[in-house]
Amino acid sequence: MKKIRIGNLIAYVVLAIFALITVFPFVYMILGGLMSYSETTTIPPTLIPHKFNWGNYAKVFAQAPFARYFLNTFITASVTTIVSLFNALLAAFALTSLKFKGKGLVQSLLLSLLMVPGEAIIFTNYNTIAKMGLLNTYLGLVLPFLTSIFYMYYLQSYFGSISDTIYKAAMINGASDWEYIWKVLVPMSKGGLFTVGLLSFISGWNAFLWPLLVTNEDSMRLLNNGLSSFASDSGSETELQLAAATLTVLPILIVYFIFRKQIIRGVVRNDLKG
């Protein structure tokens, strides 16, 4: 019994140490954004500001169009989330419930595409977007991400746990596939759909490489690209860099902490079903 308690204690201590290591950079980033320049550059570093300099955030917005960056990021992340979720829903339903010729071939093809890393096709996508004249446009930012094979297969495994008899019963009662999707499938799969939507939004919010390639105008930059540019332009003003980084990360952290239970519930439930 004592060995078990000692083992649990050691596990808690190790967990606490790793949690502290993980959380500390975020906490220091938030506090550093409220410090003065001298406090962010002293050695050993100041951990708590002597005075909360909220004016740092006003300076950040004065030196760079972060409001525009927020708007661009919100628009692209929202559009990507809505369209990719809709496409994944329909595709997962087709692969789960419908019977059609070549279904196995389609699934094999999609699975093979899932194994191709995004970096391998990013320049092909860039050339396509450039030839279409969509550089520095919202459509160019979101077009390659309007479908996701990963989310499609995630929802397929989620839908696979729903008995086929429910679909057959709906068909017998005269329901169309469209009515079955929205009146039966969606209400029964809210957890999985919510998880996919939230993860898609977080991914769109944190996008960096693709927006860096297809935008070169300040008015079309997303938050992470704007932050990178601001870090270069602000020079040695480390307190402003930390404040800008906080502006970029804090909204998505708030969203995650609000909905973390739904994310974990959806992932765990899907894992158990598999």
Give rounded-to-5 percent helix, strand, coil for the chain. 80, 0, 20
Looking at the predicted structure, is the pLDDT value of residue 1 above 60?
no
Answer yes or no: is pLDDT of 125 > 50. yes
Contact 92, 155 (CB under 8 A): yes
pLDDT, position 45: 73
The tokens describing 40, both together, are 């962010």
Residue 230's H or E segment, with its range, is helix 223-233
Q: Which string of b and e fits 1-38 if b means at least 16 CB within 10 Å?
A: eeeeeeeeeeeeeeeeeeeeeeeeeeebbbbbbbbeee
> Helix H segments across 33-176?
37-41, 55-63, 66-97, 103-114, 118-131, 138-142, 149-159, 164-172
Report pLDDT for 222: 92
pLDDT at site 265: 67
Residue where the block lists tokens 């990178």: 228
Per the structure block, which two tokens stand in for 115? 């194994």
Residue 260: pLDDT band with limits 50, 70, 90: confident
Mean of pLDDT values over 228-256: 82
Residue 252 has pLDDT above 70, yes or no: yes
Is pLDDT above 60 for 3? no
What pLDDT is recorded for position 272? 43
Q: What is the mean pLDDT of residues 147-166?
A: 86
Structure tokens at 179: 């009515």
Longest dimension (CA), the chain: 74
DSSP-derived letter for residue 64 is S
Q: Output the pLDDT for position 119.
A: 77
Q: Rounded distance, CA 42 to CA 65, Å?
A: 29
Percentage of the chain lying above the pLDDT 90 cut: 23
pLDDT the model gives residue 274? 43
* Tens-place pLDDT, residues 165-206: 888 888 888 888 899 999 888 888 888 888 889 889 989 998
